[in-house]
Structure 1
Amino acid sequence: MDSDINHIGQRIRRLRRESKMTLLEVATASSLSVGFLSQVERNLTGISISSLVNVAKALSVPLGTLLEHPRQAQPDSHEGRRESYQVGPMRQKYERLSTTFNGSLLNAVKVQMMEGYSSEWVAHSGDEFVYVLSGKVRYTLRKKDYELTAGDSLHFDAQHRHRVVNVGPGPAELIAVGTLPLFDDGHAEFESLSRAPKSRGMTAAKKTSATAAPAPSAAPAPHAARKSTRAKSVSAKKTPR
């Protein structure tokens, strides 16, 4: 997954320009500042996976277009055998804990937060639950700080702007569980985006076909017209006076 680290910003910028969207439009739709998104595009800072999901939605692309993440078809995962991945040049690593299936809502990751890490301000739909395994972190939510150490947890409405900072002397590890679709495999929301271009094209074709003007009736052939005229003339002569 390391091959993605230095290319996420470039992908965001390329897709934004292809969509003819401004930095302001994408930043606003993603609940980010223009300055922060500009730094992400230039690979000057990292971006949290939650914000990356918002950016993917703003650009109407599947999350996998911006970030390659591990697939997990089986329901179980095991310590030491999971693949870790990063989102851009940031000091945070993720391990996928959850699978996806028809109707599944929860997404879970194990987060390794390096010393000094501070996230951007984030807001997104759904619930978020965190459980600290080790270290010390501080979540700021609705102008209130929550300091958490090993064994502590926090459950909140993630549509309110929030951020997390590692305030401990070393790395911190935590489990994050939420309803935000962190993986696009098996999630209808992202699968519909991957099918959208094709669907829009098919819809447009059907609409064009349905609204097309009917073809004009073919004009009668010249010899057919002459036969019709002669027939009428003969009929007129035979009509009794």
Structure 2
Amino acid sequence: MAETIEEIATRIREMRELSKVTAEEMAEHLKVPLETYNCYEEGKMEIPASKLIEIGQRLEVDMNLLLTGEEPRMRIFTVTRKGEGVEVERRRQYRYQNLAGKFLSKRGEFFIVTIEPKREKPAAYSHPGQEFDYVLEGSLKFSIHDHEIVLNEGDSILFDSSFLHAMEAQDDRPAKMLVVVM
């Protein structure tokens, strides 16, 4: 199931308004200009996954509610079959598939991320917490805090995600990885 940027933006705006949080307060929380935040809510600008997590934290809702409009209900376990995770329509370079959206009170977010080759330098992002990335297919150049590391299939990295970081597929082929954000 693919959710569009516009659908997600509408849910975020509605939940923010129900929570009586102003757009200015949310922009300040996300450390982005108000104009950027307004573009998120209008569906004119893609919302980085890290910002979606922060929005969910500020509104005290699970990220799955932002992505799908459905509250997680599973308390003991959840199974996501191959290809059935919620996909988020994202930047052309990154495709996210949420693997555990139905589990209630998760302590992390779990994704399969596909990174398409791109000619220009990828945008760098940061978010609170830690991130674990495990390369499932391909090769990618990982940039963090003035370091560049090439990761190949089977390699992994755990890092403080408050530092700016970016990933770029290598060899003109997509790379796929398991990502855990805590």
Q: State the match for 1:162 in structure 2.
A: 164
User: Could you tell me whether the CA contact under 8 Å between 2:39 and 2:45 is conserved in 1?
Assistant: yes
Q: Figure out how many residues of one structure are paired with residues of the other and give that number.
A: 173
Counterpart mapping for 1:68-107 below 5 A:
68=68, 74=77, 81-91=82-92, 92-96=95-99, 100=103, 105=107, 107=109
Counterpart of 1:115 (choices 114, 117, 120) is 117
Equivalent runs, 1:172-211 vs 2, <5 Å: 172-179=175-182
Distance 1:156 1:33, change over 3 A: farther
**Could you tell me which residue of structure 2 aligns to residue 8 of structure 1?**
8
* Structure 2 unmatched runs, 5+: none
Q: Aligned match of 2:131 in 128, 131, 151?
A: 128
* Runs of 5+ unmatched residues, structure 1: 180-241
Counterparts in 2 of 1:161 and 1:36: CA distance versus 1, 3 Å: farther
Q: Secondary structure at the match of 1:26?
A: helix
CA contact (8 A) 2:30 2:55 kept: yes
The answer for the alignment partner of 1:137 in structure 2 is 140
SS at match of 1:44: coil
Q: TM-score, normalised by structure 2?
A: 0.71
What's the RMSD between the two structures over aligned residues? 3.4
SS at match of 2:125: coil
Contact kept? 1:2, 1:86, Cα under 8 Å? yes
* Counterpart code for 1:132: V
1:52 CA drift (Å): 0.5
* Preserved contact between residue 122 and residue 163 of structure 1 (Cα < 8 Å): yes
Contact 2:116–2:174 (Cα < 8 Å) also in 1? yes
How far off is 1:10 after superposition? Answer: 2.5
Q: Please give the alpha-carbon distance, in whole angstroms, between the structure 1 residues aligned to 2:87 and 2:124.
A: 16
1:236 matched residue in structure 2: none
Bigger fraction of residues in strand: 2
Between the aligned residues of both structures, percent identity stands at 22
Decide which structure has the larger Cα Rg and report it.
Answer: 1
The range that moved more, 136-145 or 68-77, is 68-77
TM-score (norm 1): 0.57
